[in-house]
């Protein structure tokens, strides 16, 4: 291809940010359509009196669709939105959460509320949202709307990305293959994807394969000609993405084994530095939530204490030293969920998915996150936050610092009652699983914001209602 020629690029490709915007607009329109249908059905039930809108439809009712969008927050991740099974489950959980939340409000306030109107709305909006999301999934998982990706570098980083891509269903884009200047790799397949050519044929391949995105996964030094070819491709409209950035987009975590020092400095010193507005807002959120949480703890304490005593005796509260922000030690408080002799040999052991040390009532407390209620005292004192990496014992921190790269980076922020790793991954019992969970923690530290914190809190509520706590 002539150097001045422009590759023939594919048409419109929907990227993750565009997908989220489209989903948000569609959900909002569908929710207000459901609201209109609910008001109509509600009015027919009451024989449409002339004073219906002024007497029955209170102002707050018109804002219910916005609350519905908050309940769907878990479904704005493109990968989840493209998965029909996860979409159906998420919408059903959202409807159940809305019903439970409204029921609590109904019994706590004196003035009558729109029971029939809410029931109609939840029914209509659940059905219409399902139909809209089915339409979305059918259209935007079609090949015509998928990005076509070529990976530059068939080394360890490139193969890691291909392996992660292979484990996702439905696929978020179409992976064409690799480009690599090593003649020994050309013509081979890695993770099932071919090494098509060297970088000298990159522009030709972009035209031939209608490539929309190039992923740079070169772990060593890049040749000057390769760098120039990548710049030429970018100049012609192809999006160039570093491997760690695309890995984050796909998996919601940071690839700790494939990070370079320059990327770390940029991500965790420059980009991840939280502003004063965020820190102030987060602390206000923590204070408000801790007061509410401690109130709930006081109300539930007699019942939780009774079932713990009946199940396994005293003590009710379990205390343990943990490493806080910067590694500063503090004492955590939780409702006891394990046997009294859980560490009778004095050796620290990590909790597991089906841990034999957990009592019968302990499983229930963990699944519903009720065991976490006493930790709101730590949040009130400023030792913890509502959202952050799970607090860890100092001895485990010391151990993992020697085994896992960048492990101490998770101590850049306060530990949290819940967090990005907690809502995305379960218990860990090996160094490999701990590394995976660290990747989620580092992703949170890099991208943390009030919106992300609220998203994590809402997903935690969904786990509590679905008995999926970890």
Question: pTM, whole model, 2 decimals?
Answer: 0.80
329 — phi, psi (to 5°)?
Answer: -75, 145
For the chain, how big is the Rg over CA atoms in Å? 26
Q: Is the pLDDT of residue 338 over 70?
A: yes
pLDDT at 351: 67
**What percent of the chain has a predicted confidence (pLDDT) above 90?**
40
Q: Is the pLDDT of residue 416 over 90?
A: yes
Tell me the mean pLDDT in the region 12-20.
73
For 356-406, the pLDDT digits (tens) are: 788 888 888 888 888 999 999 999 999 999 999 999 999 999 999 988 888
pLDDT at 113: 56
Is residue 46 exposed (0-12), middle (13-18) or buried (19+ Cβ within 10 Å)?
A: exposed
pLDDT at 180: 92
Nearest Cα neighbor of 61 from 21, 112, 100 is: 112
Contact 245, 43 (CB under 8 A): no
Query: What CATH fold (topology level) applies to the domain 147-251?
Result: Rossmann fold (3.40.50)
Q: Is the pLDDT of residue 9 over 80?
A: no
For 264-299, the pLDDT digits (tens) are: 666 665 555 666 788 889 999 999 999 999 999 999
For 228-252, the pLDDT digits (tens) are: 999 999 998 899 999 988 998 888 8
Nearest Cα neighbor of 296 from 379, 361, 387, 416 is: 379
Tell me the mean pLDDT in the region 429-438.
87
pLDDT at 438: 92
Tell me the mean pLDDT in the region 167-178.
88
Nearest Cα neighbor of 241 from 263, 213, 222 is: 213
Is residue 350 exposed (0-12), middle (13-18) or buried (19+ Cβ within 10 Å)?
A: middle
**Distance from the Cα of residue 119 to its chain's centroid:** 29
Is residue 174 exposed (0-12), middle (13-18) or buried (19+ Cβ within 10 Å)?
A: middle
What is the DSSP annotation of 375-408?
GHHHHHTTSSEEESSPPB-HHHHHHHHHHSTTGG
- Rounded to whole angstroms, the Cα distance separating 125 from 33 reads 8
Mean pLDDT of the chain: 84
Residue 468, token pair as written in the block:
């999926």
User: CA neighbours within 13 Å on the CB side: how many for 365?
Assistant: 27
Contact 359, 312 (CB under 8 A): yes
């040999």: which residue's tokens? 345
Q: What is the longest distance spanned by two Cα atoms in the chain?
A: 81
Which has more pLDDT, 10 or 29? Answer: 29
Instruction: Count the residues in the chain.
Output: 470
Contact 410, 442 (CB under 8 A): yes
For 386-396, the pLDDT digits (tens) are: 999 999 999 99
**Distance from the Cα of residue 172 to its chain's centroid:** 16
3-state helix, strand, coil in the chain (%, to 5): 60, 10, 30
pLDDT at 50: 47
Residues spanned by CATH 3.40.50.720 within the chain? 147-251
């Amino acid at each position: 291809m002539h150097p001045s020629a422009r590759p023939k690029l594919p048409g419109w490709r929907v990227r993750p940010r565009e997908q989220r915007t489209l989903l948000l607009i569609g959900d909002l329109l569908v929710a207000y359509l459901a609201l209109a249908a609910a008001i109509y059905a509600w009015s027919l039930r009451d024989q449409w009196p002339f004073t219906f809108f002024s007497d029955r439809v209170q102002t707050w009712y018109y804002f219910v669709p916005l609350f519905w969008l908050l309940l769907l927050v878990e479904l704005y991740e493109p990968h989840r939105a493209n998965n029909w099974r996860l979409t159906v489950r998420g919408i059903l959980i959202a409807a159940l959460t809305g019903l439970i939340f409204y029921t609590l409000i109904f019994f706590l306030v004196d003035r009558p509320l729109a029971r029939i109107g809410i029931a109609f709305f939840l029914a209509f909006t659940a059905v219409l949202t399902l139909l809209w999301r089915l339409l979305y999934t059918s259209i935007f998982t079609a090949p015509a709307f998928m990005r076509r990706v070529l990976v530059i570098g068939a080394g360890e980083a490139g193969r890691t990305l291909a392996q992660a891509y292979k484990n996702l269903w439905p696929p978020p884009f179409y992976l064409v293959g690799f480009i690599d200047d090593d003649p020994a790799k050309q013509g081979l397949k890695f993770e099932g994807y071919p090494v098509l050519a060297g970088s000298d044929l990159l522009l030709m391949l972009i035209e031939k394969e209608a490539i929309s995105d190039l992923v740079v996964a070169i772990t060593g030094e890049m040749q000057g000609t390769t760098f120039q070819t990548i710049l030429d491709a970018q100049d012609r409209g192809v999006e160039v993405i570093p491997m760690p950035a695309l890995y984050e987009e796909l998996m919601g975590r940071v690839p700790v084994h494939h990070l370079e020092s320059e990327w770390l400095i940029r991500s965790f010193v420059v980009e991840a530095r939280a502003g004063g507005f965020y820190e102030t807002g987060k602390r206000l959120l923590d204070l408000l939530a801790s007061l509410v949480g401690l109130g709930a703890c006081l109300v539930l304490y007699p019942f939780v204490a009774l079932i713990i005593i009946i199940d396994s005796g005293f003590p009710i509260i379990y205390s343990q030293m943990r490493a806080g922000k910067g590694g500063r030690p503090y004492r955590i408080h939780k409702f006891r969920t394990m046997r009294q002799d859980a560490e009778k040999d004095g050796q620290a052991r990590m909790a597991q998915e089906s841990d034999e040390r957990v009592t019968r009532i302990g499983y229930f407390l963990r699944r519903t996150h009720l065991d976490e209620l006493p930790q709101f005292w730590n949040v009130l004192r400023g030792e913890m936050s509502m959202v952050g990496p799970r607090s860890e014992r100092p001895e485990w921190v010391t151990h993992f610092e020697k085994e896992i790269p960048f492990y101490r980076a998770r101590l850049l922020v306060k530990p949290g009652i819940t967090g990005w790793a907690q809502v995305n991954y379960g218990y860990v019992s090996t160094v490999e699983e701990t590394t995976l969970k660290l990747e989620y923690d580092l992703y949170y530290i890099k991208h943390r914001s009030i919106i992300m914190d609220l998203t994590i809190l809402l997903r935690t509520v969904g786990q509590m209602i679905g008995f999926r706590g970890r």
